[in-house]
Amino acid sequence: MREISGDPYVDLLLRAILNEIYLDPPLPLPFLRRKWRRAGFDVAKLRATGQDWPSVAHSMIGRARMENLRFCVETALDDGVPGDLIETGVWRGGACILMRGILRARAVTDRTVWVADSFAGLPPPDAAAYPADAGDLHHTMADLAVPLEEVQRNFALYGLLDDQVRFLKGWFRDTLPGAPIGQLAVLRLDGDMYESTTDALRALYHKVAPGGFVIVDDYHVVPGCKAAVHDHLATLPAAAQPEIREIDGTGVYWRLPAV
Ligand SMILES: C[S@@+](CC[C@H](N)C(=O)[O-])C[C@H]1O[C@@H](n2cnc3c(N)ncnc32)[C@H](O)[C@@H]1O
């Protein structure tokens, strides 16, 4: 049993988003069956590191990556890093709901949580432009398409749908370059593919404030995602190369130097 280690509201919110309370079973997807069996049909074990796609819970990123997100947001707030918070690739919205809840817990009223998604799943691969995405099947997965209205309803269920939450609906290539976002304190990337990762990095990386955080959810599980990260970092000077830190064997994060 985990002890409460911070704000009890945020602790309970995190448990609720992951549905650690009632532990719904994973979606019965063929490619998840092996993990499910290997975990001894123990949902808590799967959800600790986000190895299942929950049938009910509002996020699939699991406890370790959710705690990492909490750490990044709370540290940015503690240290006065300026800027908003964004996730690109939100599914049912859980990670963004946690970010909004942390702002609520601290009575922060001057920052926005940006919620960027097609709300219709992933784009078909454009292998000519992004060879790393050739053969990618994410666009065929209907379970990844969660309508905007459903995500908004999820925010409302927690009492966290208000004007500090702004939705960017559409493909990242269309919505992110012109989005009215100033600075970012936390940039969380969860779009799986090379294209989705590179589109977000190109449009938003330069907006991350000194001392801000970048989180890449799929770094170790989608080779195209990792390639997009390193292709982008290769465009930056040596002094801007980050120290990439591990989260749970799936995701990574880093912090920009505070100038
Ligand atoms: C793995 S899910 C995100 C999981 C989520 N972060 C959570 O907490 O459970 C990936 C999401 O990215 C979105 N997505 C991926 N590529 C996209 C793109 N290029 N443009 C818009 N949405 C995209 C999909 O619609 C899907 O909702």
Q: Confirm whether 185 is domain-assigned.
A: yes
Q: Confirm whether 7 is domain-assigned.
A: no
Q: How far apart are CA 88 and CA 187, in angstroms?
A: 8
Q: Confirm whether 27 is domain-assigned.
A: no
Mean pLDDT for 158-171 is 98
Distance 132 CA to ligand 1 centre (A): 18
Mean pLDDT for 146-166 is 98
Which atom of ligand 1 is nearest to 199's Cα? 19
How many CB atoms are closer than 10 A to CB 123? 19
Instruction: Give me the pLDDT at residue 224, please.
Output: 98
Q: Is the pLDDT of residue 35 over 90?
A: no
> Alpha carbon of 61 to those of 26, 144, 180, 257: distances in Å?
13, 13, 27, 26
User: Which residues does a 6 A CB cutoff place in the pocket of ligand 1?
Assistant: 59-61, 87, 89-91, 94-95, 117-118, 121-123, 144, 146, 171-172, 190-193, 195-196, 199
Per residue, what are the HEC states of 110-157? CCCEEEEECCCCCCCCCCCCCHHHCCCCHHHCHHHCCCHHHHHHHHHH
Q: Confirm whether 153 is domain-assigned.
A: yes
Q: How confident is residue 2, by pLDDT bands cut at 50, 70 and 90? A: low
Distance 239 CA to ligand 1 centre (A): 31
Q: Confirm whether 187 is domain-assigned.
A: yes
Instruction: Give me the pLDDT at residue 40, please.
Output: 86
Q: Is the pLDDT of residue 1 over 60?
A: no
Q: Confirm whether 46 is domain-assigned.
A: no
Q: How confident is residue 4, by pLDDT bands cut at 50, 70 and 90? A: low
Q: How many separate domains does the chain show? A: 1
Distance 122 CA to ligand 1 centre (A): 7
Q: How far apart are CA 34 and CA 184, in angstroms?
A: 38
pLDDT digits (tens, 9 = 90+) for 62-120: 999 999 999 999 999 999 999 999 999 999 999 999 999 999 999 999 999 999 999 99
Instruction: Give me the pLDDT at residue 3, please.
Output: 58
Which atom of ligand 1 is nearest to 95's Cα? 8
Atom 2 of ligand 1, residue of closest alpha carbon? 91
Probe ligand 1: pick from 113, 117, 136, 155, max atoms within 8 Å of CB?
117
Percentage of the chain modeled with pLDDT above 70: 98
Q: Confirm whether 37 is domain-assigned.
A: no
Which atom of ligand 1 is nearest to 88's Cα? 12
Contacts of 234 by beta carbon, 8 Å cutoff, 6+ apart = none
Q: Confirm whether 20 is domain-assigned.
A: no
Instruction: Give me the pLDDT at residue 64, please.
Output: 98
Range of the domain at 106: 62-255
| CATH assignment of the domain containing 125 | 3.40.50.150
Verdict on whether the full-model pTM lies above 0.95? yes
Reading the block at residue 199, the tokens are 């589109």
Instruction: Give me the pLDDT at residue 168, please.
Output: 99
Instruction: Give me the pLDDT at residue 31, please.
Output: 85
Q: How confident is residue 6, by pLDDT bands cut at 50, 70 and 90? A: confident
Which atom of ligand 1 is nearest to 121's Cα? 25
Distance 119 CA to ligand 1 centre (A): 8
Contact call for residues 75 and 206 (beta carbons, < 8 A):
no
pLDDT digits (tens, 9 = 90+) for 189-221: 999 999 999 999 999 999 999 999 999 999 999
CB-side exposure of 40: number of CA atoms within 13 Å?
A: 3
Q: Single out the residue of 41, 39, 93, 35 nearest to residue 69, CA to CA.
A: 93
| Listed range (31-40, 44-53, 204-213, 215-224) with the worst mean pLDDT | 31-40
